[in-house]
Amino acid sequence: MIKEFLKDKLKVKVYNTRGEMGTSAADLAAQCLRELLQHKDEVNIIFAAAASQNEFLEAIAVEKDIAWNRVNAFHMDEYTGLPVTHPQRFGNFLNKKIFSKLPLKKVYYLNEDGNDTEAESRRYAALLEKMPPDITFMGIGENTHLAFNDPHVADFNDPVLVKIIDLDEPCKVQQVHDGCFPTVAEVPSLAYTLTIPALLQSKYIFCMVPGKNKAQAVKYTLNESITAKYPSTSLRTHSDATLFLDQDSASLIL
């Protein structure tokens, strides 16, 4: 690790490489999970589905001595309008990267049947109320979004836990940068997202943000005032959130 510091309540850790960031975040997350499983029958985790999570997911998938059979998994967002087998559906991405590799108690997929209804938001919100998240594994978008809470729809006091939103242009452009869709026109316009309160109600947050295309977003996250104009600034209010960076994403704040 190159550097670690605190910004308001947010712990920030900067690593040399993307790989080191992923394995170190996975070590700390596994430790946290083991401790939780010592005094809880079941632990609920929310996962982010994005390329930024690859190194972390790869490393946590091989962590030993975790009672994964007492862990329930959720995800934080899902497109509308994509066929259920579409590889860019976040449920499918996570199934491939992590869910299929672990003997989890249960995976709760968002919009599993692809029917795109308001009732689906309420169904998933009710599950999160019944099984409140203990840990959230997340990233920060180029536009500083958390899940799909882009600045124009982010609400730190959102009255609901899950909602359908429209993606802003920078968010769609990022999906193309990430290689998820060939053109902006092919990125779905609407998606389900867990809201900021739903994400921040977790006791622990591990936020993995590697890569130089995130440098500006990291700078905003740490230096702007805490407002929904920069949704990720909300992390600075959480009682146990850690931001994991590599040299590239930290290049404007070091």
Ligand X SMILES: N[C@@H]1[C@@H](O)[C@H](O)[C@@H](COP(=O)(O)O)O[C@@H]1O
Contacts with ligand X, residue ranges (CB under 6 A):
48-52, 76-77, 90, 138-141, 147-148, 178
Tell me how far, at minimum, the Cβ of 190 lies from ligand X, in Å.
Answer: 13
Q: Toward ligand X, which CB reaches closer, 22 or 141? A: 141
- How does strand 77-79 pair with strand 190-194? antiparallel
Q: Toward ligand X, which CB reaches closer, 179 or 182? A: 179
Q: Toward ligand X, which CB reaches closer, 47 or 134? A: 47
Q: Toward ligand X, which CB reaches closer, 34 or 114? A: 114
Q: Toward ligand X, which CB reaches closer, 37 or 90? A: 90
Tell me how far, at minimum, the Cβ of 136 lies from ligand X, in Å.
Answer: 9
Tell me how far, at minimum, the Cβ of 197 lies from ligand X, in Å.
Answer: 16
Tell me how far, at minimum, the Cβ of 141 lies from ligand X, in Å.
Answer: 4
- Hey, which residues does 138 pair with through a beta bridge? 207
Q: Toward ligand X, which CB reaches closer, 138 or 228? A: 138
Tell me how far, at minimum, the Cβ of 137 lies from ligand X, in Å.
Answer: 9
CA–CA distance, 195 with 242 (Å, rounded to integer): 19
Tell me how far, at minimum, the Cβ of 48 lies from ligand X, in Å.
Answer: 3
Q: Evaluate whether 4 touches 11 at the Cβ level (below 8 Å).
A: yes
Nearest residue to the partner ligand X, using Cβ = 139
Rg of the chain taking only CA atoms, in angstroms:
17
- Could you tell me the CA-to-CA distances from 32 to 25, 37, 118, 120 in Å, in that order? 11, 9, 34, 31
Neighbours of 227 (CB within 10 A): 12
Q: Evaluate whether 55 touches 18 at the Cβ level (below 8 Å).
A: yes
- How does strand 3-7 pair with strand 10-15? antiparallel
- Hey, is 82 helix, strand or coil? coil
Structure tokens at 39: 């005094």
Which residue bears the tokens 């499918």? 92
How is 230-241 classified by DSSP, letter by letter?
Answer: SGGGGGGG-TTE
Tell me how far, at minimum, the Cβ of 181 lies from ligand X, in Å.
Answer: 12
